[in-house]
Copies of this chain bind each other. A is one copy, B any other.
């Protein structure tokens, strides 16, 4: 008898996506953002998968966000039209972005310098239908123009008719450790967006798009007056870091890596698995959290997703992971061939190494296999 693939028979390591949890996460965020009167622009940088996009943004004319032009092209080919490439657009990418608009995409791009604005404005004069927003720094100090910088208006003037609005990203929410700290970042994010938008409006540049967001701040309860949309991505899957800062519960985590025990060194309270730095990533986000929330390279669950609380992936090599137990392990426990699932620190890099999702619906049977894209 040929049985359906399941967690006991799949080739390992592989990426397992629990569609039941995914659906619950999507529904909760859509409801939350919808009730607050703004649009949700799901960020596809985590999932990079059309099937996930169709659940997060069911209509092809729904707004989505992407982190690379490759993603923009991939989701455009799949049917999406309103795509925000929300990383500062370098002059070297203008031609490729313009080409996508010639094929029919309504591409929103982002700049924070007169140089980049000049390059985009020039493409727009030559017929590219690129909308451009100005990136505003709301306190993360990564990219973006300061609120009080003269550059804000110089960039808008350089953009001319291509000017479409402003965007900011409270990425400093990842340094928040309590809901109150996250709420403060959400306030700074929305506040900076409103102020920048007001300054530009007074100067004759009204904003069609006022875009904010990060998954932690998206679920913080902040006044959204003047905001048109919220971007968020990792909320689809959540991860140990997000659970650690209180943005979600452990039971919300939709992503795990299925792995097999491939070594059980004699006399040591540890075992080797076939998921290492490549299958799990070397992300150590939770190392910045209080001791009880740290995961090293991942927490360990049984096949049904139940946490095995004494175990941690303590070391990784390219294709090996070392699971260490905080208590003595019975010599006959976790024999070679045992399968476990690893919860990741950070969903984005863990997913990025895998070519596909093995989809389950809360149980062990694989009910679908979804490809994901990567690269640039």
Contacts and interface: CB of A to CB of B under 8 A. Distances in A.
A183 interface: no
A260 B92 contact: yes
Contacts of A178: none
Interface in A78-103: 87-93, 96
Q: How many copies does the complex hold?
A: 2
Given A143-B265, A282-B281, A12 B92 contact: yes
A69 B265 CA distance: 23
A337 interface: yes
A320 interface: yes
Interface string A359-376: 000000000000000111
Contacts of A355: 374-375
- Interface core residue of A264, A284, A319, A320 (most chain B CB under 10 Å): A319
A113 B143 CA distance: 52
Contacts of A352: 278, 353
A90 B277 CA distance: 18
B149 A266 contact: yes
Interface of A: 11-14, 45, 67-69, 87-93, 96, 112-113, 115-116, 119, 137, 141-143, 146, 149, 151, 171, 260-266, 272, 274, 277-279, 281-284, 317-320, 322, 335-337, 339, 348-349, 352-355, 374-376
Given A14-B376, A142-B272, 20 more contacts: A11-B92, A11-B93, A12-B92, A45-B318, A45-B319, A67-B319, A87-B262, A87-B320, A88-B272, A88-B320, A90-B260, A91-B337, A92-B337, A92-B339, A93-B274, A113-B336, A115-B336, A142-B263, A277-B283, A278-B349
